[in-house]
Amino acid sequence: MRNGRITLAQAAQWCGGTVAPEYAEIAFSGANFDTRRLQKGELFVAIIGTARDGHDFAADAIEKGAAAVLASKPLAPEIPAIYVEDTVKALQDVARHWREHLHIKAVGVTGSVGKTTTKGMIASVLETAFVTLRTEENFNNGIGLPVTLLGVDEACEAAVLEMGMNHFGEISLLTRIAQPDIAVITNVGTMHIEYLGSREGILKAKLEILEGLRPGGIAIFNGDNDLLSGVAAQYHALTFGLGKQNDVYAEEIRTRGDQTDFIAVGFGKRIPITLHTVGEHCVVDALAAVAVGLCCSLMPEQIQEGLENFRNHGMRQKLYDLGSIHIMEDCYNAGPESMRAAFKVLACAKGRRIAVLGGMLELGSFAPREHYLVGKEAAKAADLLFAYGENSEEYVRGALEEGMQYARKFDTHEKLTAALQAALLPGDTVLFKGSRGMKMERVLQHLDTSEIGGKENG
């Protein structure tokens, strides 16, 4: 290493690669696998994908300022490169060794739902006291997390690292690379049950995060979750949640417009919190951040400031008005648990409430029943239901059986948009939610609220 930068010789040693002697002392800082995002001085990782081969972009990467290339195929001799058998595994090895050289407080976050929001809240809290880095959107896998870690320089003091999975062993790999000082599990639900067989299987996969926990590290679990509360004592975990049996819990929860106020109680402290988001599920996510902040010896006012500064990004529970219509945009992803949480927020809206739901993916054989049950829940929170995607007919069946007067499935975004537009009335609140593959934001993007239909359905 040289001034916080990694030489090709050092990286080659860490990952079992080879580098030509004339390039051995070239140093890089950070890594990237996309020439469109590449920064000068980074290591370009040539990944062989299903659609593209990164080796085809190696020369372009050097022209754009890459220090060198991590490759598994021969490149032109004038291109500085580390040669390995598997570039993804080599990237992971280099990131793991780099982590061992860093003096940072690392927080790993996983869970069936809420992990990205929780990651953001934790980072916002830690940023009040430390130079903090967090994983970007979708950088929670075996490529994105190592790239994130290699972006941590020696000035960084904390990192919040999201860990996703849909198969056994994936979080085990990520946590051994990240080596967290604190491991947070937001909940154990039914997301990815298609691949893991049962909620107990999901619990087992989530608990893999503890395999990389550093000696003396802290586990923090959602104590309201039935499965996590059952194993918290076994793993000496601190707990957070709405219930007062938890180490960190909430009192006096109140919603004011698009804000939520509550008192966080724990570690002998009572901390007034204001969130610029709504719903009890967001309070639970915030309590995880409070627990992390207290474990890191932050002052109550720092925790207050961090959560006050937090804002949801992307397509996660954005609340805003579109003309005379109130929008709840929550199109990033969906599972049974997050659907029910969104319905709790929708149910508090004034005026007519409309649910625009895309199908929930990765539920396997559980999918029909879970969609049916979510449909029944939708009927308790919404007045109308517009559904799209695989198994969404079960939404409709459940909603109609529960007594909803209008619930329909549509086979295209365009047909759904037209029907929704004809149904809208001034003052309606509309929830848009579905799994990422459903792309429910397309309905929202094509909605024209300047011409709201005047007919009610039913």
Strand ordering across the sheet containing 218-222: 132-134, 158-162, 105-110, 182-185, 218-222, 238-241, 248-256, 259-266, 269-275
Residues 255 and 158 in one domain: yes
- 131-184 residue pLDDT tens: 999 888 778 999 999 999 999 887 899 999 999 988 999 999 999 999 999 999
Q: Across all residues in the chain, what is the average pLDDT?
A: 92
In the predicted model, what is the mean pLDDT of residues 359-376? 92
Q: For residue 457, what pLDDT is reported?
A: 41
- 214-273 residue pLDDT tens: 999 999 999 999 999 999 999 999 999 999 999 999 999 998 877 899 999 999 999 999
Q: For residue 220, what pLDDT is reported?
A: 98
- 88-130 residue pLDDT tens: 999 999 999 999 999 999 999 999 888 889 999 999 999 999 9
* Contacts made by residues 136-145, CB under 8 angstroms, sequence distance 24+: 137/313, 137/314, 140/115, 140/116, 140/164, 140/174, 141/170, 141/174, 142/88, 142/92, 142/170, 142/173, 142/174, 143/33, 143/45, 143/47, 143/88, 143/91, 145/95, 145/174, 145/177, 145/178
Domain assignment present for residue 207? The answer is: yes
Domain boundary among 269, 288, 309: 309
Confidence bin at 51 (pLDDT 50/70/90): confident
Burial class (CB in 10 A: 0-12, 13-18, 19+), 21: exposed
Domain assignment present for residue 454? The answer is: no
Q: For residue 452, what pLDDT is reported?
A: 64
Residues 286 and 327 in one domain: no
- 23-43 residue pLDDT tens: 999 999 999 999 999 999 999
Q: For residue 113, what pLDDT is reported?
A: 82
User: The CATH number of the domain where 19 resides is what?
Assistant: 3.40.1390.10
Q: Which amino acid is at 279?
A: G
Q: For residue 192, what pLDDT is reported?
A: 65
Question: What is the DSSP secondary-structure string of 348-389?
Answer: T-SS-EEEEEEPPPS-GGGHHHHHHHHHHHHHHH-SEEEEES
Domain assignment present for residue 115? The answer is: yes
- 295-340 residue pLDDT tens: 999 999 999 999 999 987 655 667 888 888 999 998 878 889 889 8
Domain boundary among 309, 343, 373: 309
In the predicted model, what is the mean pLDDT of residues 404-419? 95
Number of domains comprising the chain:
3
Q: For residue 205, what pLDDT is reported?
A: 93
In the predicted model, what is the mean pLDDT of residues 201-219? 96
Whether 62 has a pLDDT exceeding 50, the answer reads yes
Per the structure, the complete domain to which residue 75 belongs is given by 6-86
Domain assignment present for residue 95? The answer is: no
pTM over 0.75: yes
Residues 289 and 413 in one domain: no
Whether 453 has a pLDDT exceeding 90, the answer reads no
User: The CATH number of the domain where 365 resides is what?
Assistant: 3.90.190.20
- 276-286 residue pLDDT tens: 988 888 999 99
Q: How far is CA 45 from CA 59, 123, 244, in A?
A: 12, 27, 48
Q: For residue 3, what pLDDT is reported?
A: 57
